[in-house]
Amino acid sequence: FKSVTFEDSLFKNCVFEDITSLNTYFRNCTFVNTTFYNTDLEQYKFVDSELINCTFFHIRTGCQISFDDDYSAYWIYFVNFLGTLAVLPGNIVSALLMDRIGRLTMLG
């Protein structure tokens, strides 16, 4: 789940398995006979929720990756493109110098 908020929902006889959540909250929800297995859903994500006969197995702990809501893969590629573009003039000058003064001199 990424940035999902469940409000006034009823979860009855559900199994939440292998779930990683970012900014996911359950507000005023009711869980009846629900099993949580290998999830990172912690107590603070259940705001004013009622848990009736629920079991938690193998809760994930440690550092979970969290990004802002406006985070997208576009920025990763854009920043990578800018870094590659910044190196381009140095590569051109290096190639010209290598042809002009020789490969062994350039290596030295």
Q: Would the CA dihedral through 61, 63, 14, 12 be positive or negative?
A: positive
What's the CA angle centered on 65, arms 52 and 59, to 5 degrees? Answer: 30
| pTM, 2 dp | 0.57
Per-residue pLDDT of the chain (108 residues), as tens digits, is 778 899 999 999 999 998 888 788 999 999 999 999 988 888 889 999 999 999 999 887 766 555 555 566 778 888 899 999 999 999 999 888 888 898 888 877
Considering the segment(s) 3-55 as one domain, its CATH architecture is 3 Solenoid (2.160)
Long-range own/partner contacts, residues 66-70 (CB < 8 A, 24 or more apart) = 66/22, 66/23, 67/22, 69/3, 69/23
Residue with tokens 């006979």: 33
Tokens matching residue 49: 């929720």
